[in-house]
Amino acid sequence: MRIKCCGITRPEDARYAESCGADAIGVVMFSPVSKRSVTPERAREIFDALGPFTTTVAVSHTASPEDLEKMLALHPDAIQISHPFAFREKPAAKLIRVIGRNDTLPTDCDAIIVDDSHGNGKNFDLPHARDTVQRSGLPVILAGGLTPENVADAIRQVHPYAVDVASGIETAPGIKDHKKISAFIAAARKDVT
């Protein structure tokens, strides 16, 4: 199972998650209401702390084209956005589109993340997540309320391409708990069928 640890605000948390086997590290940007939002400079520090085989993901709910350009200027491996930006040409980074229950399935991206939570720990909607996995021709990432205690069951029920966790591995918004990180990754990688 592929795993993204999101809402990372400190390089040491990124390095720790990577050392436990996280496949991707997400940083939230240009989201002033989020306690996990970091500056482009801090995002660069976090990305630079990682090795070459860990995917870097710039995450935002911004509707500003200028903010999007600043995200892309960091040269992340992927960008994760919820605003339906229209691109004249495909960005250099992989494009992950966030969808909720009432959104249509996008086709102009590299992957879809099913997430009504937006980092608030709200549990994913099981029927919607299953339906999205079944109907989408793209990889589907599951997010929303995942914890070390429930991730294995969520994987068994939904069969996503990957899982994404933020609040489920924290002691406070943006402050990751290393024991929870290692427990989450171990639980997600446990032999689930």
Q: Name the pairing type of β-strands 175-176 and 170-172.
A: antiparallel
Give the three-class secondary structure for 27: strand
Question: Which residue in the list 6, 13, 67, 116 is annotated as catalytic?
Answer: 6
Q: Into how many domains does the chain fold?
A: 1
C-beta neighbour count of 126 within 10 angstroms: 12
Question: Which residue in the list 13, 67, 109, 115 is annotated as catalytic?
Answer: 115
What are the DSSP calls for 99-153, one per residue?
E-TTSPPP-SSSEEEE-SSTTS-PPP-HHHHHHHHHH-SS-EEEESS--TTTHHH
C-beta neighbour count of 72 within 10 angstroms: 14
Has 115 been annotated as catalytic?
Answer: yes
Domain hosting 20: range is: 2-189
- State the pLDDT confidence band at 3, using cuts at 50, 70 and 90: very high
How high is the pLDDT of residue 90? 83
Model pTM score = 0.95
As given in the structure block, the two tokens for residue 94 are: 């992989």
Give the three-class secondary structure for 66: helix
Q: Which has more confidence, 98 or 100?
A: 98
- The CATH number of whichever domain residue 23 belongs to comes to 3.20.20.70
pLDDT (tens digit per residue) in 30-56: 998 899 999 999 999 999 999 999 999
Residue 41 CA to residue 15 CA, distance in Å, equals 17
How high is the pLDDT of residue 33? 87
Q: Name the pairing type of β-strands 24-29 and 2-5.
A: parallel
pLDDT (tens digit per residue) in 11-34: 999 999 999 999 999 999 999 889
How high is the pLDDT of residue 121? 64
Has 6 been annotated as catalytic?
Answer: yes
pLDDT (tens digit per residue) in 134-172: 999 999 999 999 999 999 999 999 999 999 999 999 999
